Amino acid sequence: MIEAMPPGLVLIAGAFLLPATSGVARKALVLALPLATLGLVWSIPDGPALTLVFLDYTLTPVEGSRLGRLFATAFALMAFAGGLYAVNQARVVEIAAAFAHAGSAIGVAFAGDLVTLFVFWELMIIGSTLVIWSAGTDSAYRAGMRYTLVHLFGGIVLMIGIIGHIAETGSVTFEAMHADSLSRWLILAGFLVNAGAPPLSAWLPDAYPEASPSATVFLSAYTTKTAVYVLMVGFAGEGVLVWVGLYMVFYGIIYALLENDMRRILAYSIINQVGFMVTGIGIGTQMALNGSAAHAFAHIIYKGLLLMSAGAVLHQTGKRKCTDLGGLFRSMPITTVCGIVGAMAISSFPLTSGFVSKDMIGQAAGDQLLALVWFLLAAGSAGVFLHAGIKFPWFVFFQKDSGLRPPDPPWNMWAAMSLFAFLCIGLGVYPAPLYAMLPYAVNYVPYTSAHLVFQFQLLLFSGLAFFLLLPQMKRTLTLTLDFDWFYRHFLPRLCRAVASRGSETRRRVEHATMTRIRLVLEPFFRFHRPEGILARSWPTGGATVWVAVLLAVTLVIYYWQGAR
């Protein structure tokens, strides 16, 4: 039976092993587990590698595919670099949870059927929630709670969709489908929740920045990219995804431009980048899918790098707002260089990994003569440079002198950053290995003069715009409001505001409104509270009345049925 173990299980099992070890053994394990997983990932041949019967279905928990291997490789690389980054600083529970999270994501990448997919999907939620909570702060606890609720809701939507799909088709295989029935729409919706699509995008920038510096690095890679993977397998060419993706591109840019917290900037930028991938999936041609896959791979690395450098700053200074930072290049040269490399990659500078991947999506839109999509993608690329390419390094490392003189972070942190920086540039200079892993044959040459001219124009003009508009861009101490503000602040504040208004008439009006709201909600809860009619201890007589009522009612019904 164990011809092919799900590669993710190594990491998941390791997660349980880690807390039991200590000292050098633990460190060795943290570095060895992802590498062992990577080896396993590449040992799985194409096609079903393991089947087992579960309930009434034949499941395929491990099925190799080019696309799955690509994503799993990125996930394993991320686990290695993240583990290296975290090994000396993070709590062991954080690394363990992150490994369980990564292992489940790899499990999804190899899931050949919907049941396995759902199981790993839910395990991912548990793992990531624990990663957030391991920060140990109160705000992380609450953010983790909101995060779980959103994802469990998504899980329910997905589960109903999957069961409905199985009931309709009788097949559990996870393969390409179309959103043509309620159940498949529900599956699509469940996937999109994890991708950070509207209207529930806010879970991402809400939760990730609350985690510890190293935890955010882990989190950035898995949840959204597994969603990209499953969308690519299940819903390639689904037209609606083009517009969902474009919405995410601009949502991410606008909120990132308004944001002051450096890790929230990068979190919004995740949504923006995933938007590019989702758009590519919606276009659905081979070029577009290659582009989305390559971009996902490159993105995991450069976003990990950016968050590592932001995490290093946070770790060394304890500050996270752009307004408190600045001028750090003097004392943190390695972090600065690595941050700039990441920023260049995300803005698709030539000779970085972003350049060789992202523009494939734009090219695909052009090939399909989707003019509007192409223009919007180009505008989005310019926006990326504005919000992540310049804004993040400028405000954190240059700008004014904040007076802070922290040294570069400990060796393991900068080693992890250097590794990823090397990969960013390496893939940009020599993209052949990446192209070889893509699902379809690559028919795209990145380094043509047309591409280079276009890209430099884009970068130069948006760079110019940034510095011309610098006074407007300069962040003051602000908070940005997102959709989650409605359920987190607006409702509670409304209640408080209503309670504290002074004017007598006003109070009376408000009191009446509040009473009316309570009138609607209260009875519902009142019945269920301990003293409520449904929860209190009944006298025996009252309970007996219920018995009599039920007996009488059923008797009447049964007799009536007979009389018909």
Partner 1 sequence: MISLHLPALQVVVPLISAPLCVLLRRGFGAWLLATVIAWTAFAISLALLAQVLSDGALSYKMGGWAAPWGIEYRIDRLNAFMLVIVAGIGALVMPCAYHSVAREIAPERQHLFYAAFMLALTGLLGIVITGDVFNLYVFLEITSLASYTLVALGADRRALRASFQYLVLGTIGATFILIGIGLLYMVTGTLNMADLAARIPALQELRPVRAAFAFIVVGAGLKLALFPLHLWLPNAYTYAPSVVSAFLAATATKVGVYVLMRFIFTVFGARFAFEMMPLGEILMVLGLLAVMVGSLVAVFQTNVKRMLAYSSIAQIGYMALGISFASVNGLVAGIVHLFNHAAMKGALFLALACVFYRLGSVELDAMRGLGRRMPLTMATFVAAGMSLVGVPLTVGFISKWYLVVAAIESGLWPVAVIVLVASLLALVYIWRVVEVAYFREPDGDAPEVTEAPAAMLVPTMALAAACIYFGIDTELTVGVATEAALSLLEGGP
Binding footprint of partner 1 on the chain (CB under 8 A): 54-55, 118-119, 122-123, 126, 141, 152-153, 156, 159-160, 163-164, 166-167, 182, 525, 528-530, 532, 534-535, 537-538, 540, 542-544, 546-547, 550-551, 554-555, 557-559, 561-562
Among candidate residues 248, 113, 238, the one with its CA nearest the CA of residue 188? 238
d(C-alpha 303, C-alpha 196), whole Å: 16
Amino acid at 525: F
Q: Please, which residue, 138 or 504, has the CB nearer to partner 1? A: 138
Tokens of 223: 């949840």
Contact 262, 320 (CB under 8 A): yes
Q: Please, which residue, 500 or 537, has the CB nearer to partner 1? A: 537
Q: Please, which residue, 160 or 514, has the CB nearer to partner 1? A: 160
Q: How far is the CB of 24 from partner 1 (least distance, A)?
A: 26
Q: Please, which residue, 182 or 468, has the CB nearer to partner 1? A: 182
Among candidate residues 178, 218, 220, 224, the one with its CA nearest the CA of residue 197? 224
Q: Please, which residue, 169 or 443, has the CB nearer to partner 1? A: 169
Q: How many CB atoms lie within 10 A of CB 260?
A: 18
Q: How far is the CB of 160 from partner 1 (least distance, A)?
A: 6
d(C-alpha 487, C-alpha 387), whole Å: 27
Phi, psi angles (nearest 5°) of residue 481:
-105, 135
Q: How far is the CB of 213 from partner 1 (least distance, A)?
A: 22
Phi, psi angles (nearest 5°) of residue 508:
-65, -45
Helix (H) or strand (E) holding 195: helix 182-195
Q: Please, which residue, 227 or 341, has the CB nearer to partner 1? A: 227
Q: How many CB atoms lie within 10 A of CB 424?
A: 27
Q: Please, which residue, 372 or 543, has the CB nearer to partner 1? A: 543
Q: How far is the CB of 182 from partner 1 (least distance, A)?
A: 8
Contact 134, 54 (CB under 8 A): no
Phi, psi angles (nearest 5°) of residue 49:
-110, -15
Q: How far is the CB of 124 from partner 1 (least distance, A)?
A: 11
Q: How many CB atoms lie within 10 A of CB 300?
A: 25
Q: Please, which residue, 139 or 544, has the CB nearer to partner 1? A: 544
Helices (H), 398-503: 411-429, 432-437, 449-468, 470-473, 484-485, 491-500
Radius of gyration of the chain (CA): 26
Among candidate residues 498, 525, 486, the one with its CA nearest the CA of residue 206? 486
Q: Please, which residue, 126 or 425, has the CB nearer to partner 1? A: 126
Q: How far is the CB of 57 from partner 1 (least distance, A)?
A: 10
Q: How far is the CB of 499 from partner 1 (least distance, A)?
A: 23
Q: How far is the CB of 215 from partner 1 (least distance, A)?
A: 17
Q: How far is the CB of 460 from partner 1 (least distance, A)?
A: 51
Q: Which residues pair with 50 in a beta bridge?
A: 62
Contact 84, 415 (CB under 8 A): yes
